[in-house]
Structure 1
Amino acid sequence: MNDLGSKAYYHLPGLFEFYELYRVFLPLFREHRAYFYDWCEIGSIYGAPADCIWGGGRAGFGDQSAKEVLALLREYGISARLTFSNSLLQKEHLRDPKCNALCALFEAGSGVQNGIIVHSELLLEYLKARYPGFYFVSSTTKVLTEFAQLRRELEREEFRFVVPDFRLNKAFDQLKGLPQAQKDKVEFLCNECCWPGCKDRKLCYETVSRKNLGEACPEHVCTAPDAQEGYRFSKAMQSPAFIGTEEICRTYLPMGFSHFKIEGRGLGSALILEFLLYYMTKPEYQLQVREAIYLDSMLDLF
């Protein structure tokens, strides 16, 4: 499928949320590498504990022990990313003991450098000064929908990666004009199911930030067409912003882009498995991978 020899690096959801799934999947990926596309690798796995006030993007998921999570990724040499993308942090929140303890633990590393996904400028400056061992990722929760915004973010030296709003995924005329150093920093959100016409995306993320801070706030009511259906991978595939495996290989890799984010921390592990099958697994081996995971007696997919 990919004739250039270049690699796609996937950034996968559920560092804390889907530990049990990755505990089974990562050995398969290492021991049966022929089951999987040779043009892809795992760039990182991202997430945050459920009761983490610096957390953002999603709320209320992830209860796995941080030490167990770090040990698993250390074993497989995979970068861990803490999703600290809360957009509403104040100075007093920086003292939070749990978040600081997580930073101290993960900065020590898993054999590779770990990262932090961040929105708040206040938090970014704090982390840079106190935990310089991390690399930093500019969060998609910033909702960078204008290409000029993306260019300015890519020019910032403090970010190794920048995740633009999904509605810039197909801005090819502008994307192809980026210098290679900036192309290397772009991390596309591939499987977003949100309505491209949504005007409330930033407000939705702010509601999550408030929940993570423990504030009483009303639920965000999505007004998108078919919102009542929730996330459907089949619906995401129909979005004009969707990035599939064919496009990664035939368009994005030849254009010089290598990093692709898969969303899904708030979804069930069975659906995350479908993402792993679609994006990483050769069709002729998908049944073997699915069987190996479903038949694991310790894993309860939902």
Structure 2
Amino acid sequence: MRVRFHLPDFSGSFKLNLLFAEMLKNRPDFFREGVEIASVYGVFPPCLWNGGRSQGGNTDKNYMKTVIREFNNRGIPLRFTFTNIMLEKKHLSDERCNMMLHLANNGMNEVIVASPILEDYIRKEFPQYKLTSSTCKRLNSKEALMAELEKDYHVVVADYDLNNKFDILEDMPRKKDIELLVNACCQPECQGRLQHYKDISQQQIAFCNHIKKYPNVPFDLEKYDPNHFSACPYSKRSIFDIKELKTHISPEAIWEKYVPMGFEQFKIEGRTASTLNKVETYMYYMAKPELREEARYFLLGMMEDSGALIFT
């Protein structure tokens, strides 16, 4: 049995995810059967190709090398969230994004894509990268998901609105290559989700252009586009809030329904979530229920010893 989890934010949550990987390796008794870290996803900000979630900040080349080395040495791929759906051809030459791909171009790491022009570019210039089809494409019908699975993707992320539509999921080929987003905070059947992804993509481009021109001046989102961009009202939902949503997939359902059906890829969202929420979500999904408190205490102790116990 393989139950493969894709974890959020290799950059901003570098220490947390590294310590969690060490905990999984050294204390497997804390965890449910078959738990693996399939990847840790994210970008090194600022990143013009980033999508799905707005991410600010600034990371240097040495930090990038350290993150890539530490995860890859543990057999864990990085997956770049290059899912900006508003890219133009002129953006393909972005020096920083290309540098990220060059640094991690060792055959182990992966890219999540949503833009056809960026996907074509990566396939041509960086063929060693395995490609994942992003949930940003909003593949929320049986026909759309089936068509995507016929293409040359390593993994296809299904839209979360299909999570509990078992009549559709049962009919899917390549179930082990379908990734399910288990803890979506967005409202089920949200009508504004695709537009929100477009807004985030435009914001990310504006942020990166601003950083290049004015590296010491804070980026003001309201001044960027006060009439168009609207923050998601659901983005701050906690692990406890999302349990009430019909798109929620519980850990019991993973082991009792989805894995027996043939699914093995599960995404935990949370790139912009607090450290506290990430820790609680990891315990909820991957630790044995009867050992969650002990496992949480063990992980927090590791974080405290390493100086990573900062709940932001």
> TM-score scaled to structure 1, two decimals?
0.90
Residue 25 of structure 2 is aligned with which of 30, 42, 48?
30
Residue 209 (str. 1) matches residue 216 (str. 2): no
CA distance in 1, matches of 2:298, 2:158: 35
Match in the other structure for 2:88? 90
Aligned amino acid, residue 47 of structure 2: C
Structure 1's 77 and 63: CA in aligned 2 closer, same or farther, altered over 3 A?
A: farther
Deviations 1:254-277 (A, max 9, x none): 111111111000111111111110
Report 1:64-143 matches (<5 A): 65-109=63-107, 113-143=108-138
Mapped partners of 1:222, 1:116: distance in 2: 26
Q: C-alpha separation between the residues in 2 aligned to 1:228 and 1:10?
A: 23
Question: Percent same amino acid at aligned positions?
Answer: 32
Query: Which runs of structure 2 are paired with 1:12-31 in the superposition (5 Å)?
Result: 12-31=7-26
Return the offset for 1:229: 8.1
> What is aligned with 1:3?
none
Number of paired residues? 288
Deviations 1:203-260 (A, max 9, x none): 111111011101633463368xxx3783222221111111111111111111111111
- Whole-angstrom distance in 1 between the partners of 2:4 and 2:97: 27
How far off is 1:63 after superposition?
Answer: 4.8
Q: CA RMSD in A?
A: 1.8
Partner amino acid, structure 2, of 1:117? I
Q: Which runs of 5+ in 2 are unaligned?
A: 208-223
**Runs of 4+ in structure 1 displaced over 6 angstroms?**
none
Q: C-alpha distance in 1, partners of 2:124/2:106?
A: 16
Aligned to 1:196: 188
> Which stretch of the first structure deviates more once superposed, 116-125 or 29-38?
29-38
- Distance (whole Å) between structure 2 residues aligned to residue 231 and residue 61 of structure 1: 20
Quote the residue 1:52 is aligned against: 47
Q: Is the 8 A contact 1:184 1:256 kept in 2?
A: yes
Q: Aligned letter for 1:205?
A: Y
1:24-60: CA deviation from partner (whole Å, max 9, x where unpaired): 2221111111111122211111001221000001112
Mapped to 1, the partners of 2:291 and 2:284 lie a distance apart of 11
What is the alpha-carbon distance in structure 2 between the residues aligned to residue 25 and residue 177 of structure 1? 35
- Displacement of 1:301: 2.6
Q: Compare 61-70 and 98-107 and name the one that shifted more.
A: 61-70
Superimposed CA distance per residue, residues 108-139 of structure 1 (whole angstroms, 9 cap, x where no aligned partner): 25xxx211001000000000000011000011
Q: Aligned AA for 2:254? A: I
For the residues of structure 2 that align with 1:207 and 1:98, how far apart are their CA atoms?
22
Cα distance, 1:61 vs structure 2: 4.5
- Counterpart Cα distance in 2 of 1:11 and 1:266: 15
Q: Aligned AA for 2:289?
A: P
